[in-house]
């Protein structure tokens, strides 16, 4: 299992709560089991439920119903046995899949008890992420950018409406933080902030040109859809639906090797793999999209997409990624 620091560094972009954790007081000494639960949470649960347990993640904006917010008052009524059952077997109709294949009964109990104490009862913000151990030796130099990460100031606030310190913080955020944090809050949810799975900054909303590091993301290639010419009308319609609903996990190129897909376990289906796709019929794919796949992060879409929309997505997959087999 990877260390908390390694996992946190990889997933930092999906939780605005990391900024809030910076200012939180460190937790008191805890028993070994509590820290084991923390390690499991930071490896398995952080992506959807958030660094601070509040489900304020990029992933959560794509999920309906949204992941559980353990800091909300309603979480106080959750029974321990119920939580253990959900972690073990998953929850139907949501993206919460069972972890029985990945966690032992003791691991499950440890992570549930960690969540119940850390987030539900004590309302803590988890361990700090931006520490020297995680490669942030002097994170305080980014303090001016914090209001744009925690949503205190909308990121699209006009420059002329900001104080000099806020201008400095916004420039710092756009040049150093937006790659991971995306944005906490904007006043105008226009086209520029359309939800999309990207592994690089929204450079068209930056005051600088993309730097060599952000432009060279190993995942950026998989955020680009394939070039297709002469798509039939149903596949063109399916392409728009694919980008809105499927590309977040499977990548715009269908490979599942994008930033998000790289740490889902099991990984998303590679829809470009001929070894898999030549055995996949349209009906098999339709059933998996409609009903989801147990013990994976693939949810059921039957309550989100119509049968017609599912068929259009299948037409796009068939035309853009790999011809479906006869089953």
The C-alpha atoms of residue 95 and residue 6 are separated, in whole angstroms, by 24
Which pLDDT score, from 0 to 100, does residue 111 have?
96
The model's pLDDT over 268-324, given as tens digits with 9 standing for 90+, comes to 999 999 988 888 999 999 999 999 888 788 888 998 899 999 999 999 999 999 888
Q: Does 129 score more than 60 pLDDT?
A: yes
The model's pLDDT over 161-181, given as tens digits with 9 standing for 90+, comes to 999 999 999 988 887 777 666
The model's pLDDT over 28-40, given as tens digits with 9 standing for 90+, comes to 445 889 999 998 9
Which pLDDT score, from 0 to 100, does residue 179 have?
62
Confidence of residue 215 (pLDDT cuts 50, 70, 90): very low
Domain 4-121 and domain 222-320, same fold? Reply is: yes
The C-alpha atoms of residue 73 and residue 305 are separated, in whole angstroms, by 31
Mean per-residue pLDDT for 23-29? 41
Q: Which of 255, 241, 178 is nearest to 211 (CA)?
A: 178
Considering the chain, what percentage of its residues have pLDDT values greater than 90?
36
> Phi, psi at residue 305, to the nearest 5°?
-110, 145
Mean per-residue pLDDT for 23-50? 75
Confidence of residue 95 (pLDDT cuts 50, 70, 90): confident
In the structure encoding, which two tokens stand for residue 147, read together?
Answer: 């209001």
Mean per-residue pLDDT for 215-229? 71
Q: pTM of this prediction?
A: 0.53
Mean per-residue pLDDT for 136-145? 83
The C-alpha atoms of residue 312 and residue 318 are separated, in whole angstroms, by 10
Which of the residue ranges 15-29, 60-74, 169-183, 212-226 would you say has the lowest mean pLDDT? 15-29
Domain boundaries, the chain: 4-121, 145-217, 222-320
Straight-line distance from the first to the last Cα atom of the chain, in angstroms, rounded to the nearest whole number: 37
Class of the domain covering 4-121? mainly alpha
Q: Which of 197, 199, 193, 211 is nearest to 156 (CA)?
A: 193
Burial of 230 (0-12, 13-18, 19+ CB in 10 A): exposed
According to CATH, the superfamily of the domain at 222-320 is Cytochrome c-like domain (1.10.760.10)
3-state class of 90 per DSSP? strand
């Amino acid at each position: 299992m990877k260390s908390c620091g390694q996992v946190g560094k990889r997933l930092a972009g999906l939780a605005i709560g990391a900024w809030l954790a910076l200012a939180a007081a460190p937790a008191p000494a805890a028993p070994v089991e509590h820290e084991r639960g923390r390690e499991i949470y930071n490896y398995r649960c952080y992506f959807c439920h958030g660094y601070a347990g509040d489900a304020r993640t990029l992933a959560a904006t794509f999920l309906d119903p949204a992941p559980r917010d353990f800091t909300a008052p309603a979480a106080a009524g959750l029974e321990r046995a119920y939580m253990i059952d959900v972690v073990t077997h998953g929850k139907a109709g949501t993206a919460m899949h069972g972890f029985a294949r990945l966690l032992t009964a003791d691991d499950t109990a440890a992570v549930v008890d960690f969540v119940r104490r850390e987030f539900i009862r004590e309302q803590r913000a988890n361990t700090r992420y931006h520490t020297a151990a995680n490669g942030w030796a002097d994170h305080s130099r980014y303090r001016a950018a914090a209001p744009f990460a925690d949503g205190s100031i909308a990121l699209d606030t006009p420059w002329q409406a900001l104080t000099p310190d806020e201008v400095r913080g916004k420039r710092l955020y756009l040049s150093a933080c937006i790659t991971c944090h995306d944005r906490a809050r904007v006043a105008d949810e226009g086209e520029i902030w359309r939800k999309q799975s990207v592994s690089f900054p929204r450079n068209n909303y930056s005051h600088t040109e993309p730097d060599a590091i952000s432009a060279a993301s190993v995942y950026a290639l998989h955020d680009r859809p394939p070039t297709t010419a002469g798509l039939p009308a149903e596949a063109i319609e399916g392409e728009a639906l694919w980008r809105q609903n499927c590309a977040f996990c499977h990548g715009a190129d269908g490979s599942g090797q994008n930033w998000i897909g790289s740490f889902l376990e099991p990984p998303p289906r590679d829809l470009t793999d001929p070894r898999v796709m030549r055995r996949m019929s349209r009906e098999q794919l339709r059933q998996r999209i409609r009903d989801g796949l147990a013990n994976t992060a693939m949810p059921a879409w039957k309550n989100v997409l119509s049968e017609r929309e599912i068929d259009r997505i299948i037409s796009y997959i068939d035309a853009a990624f790999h011809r479906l087999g006869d089953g």
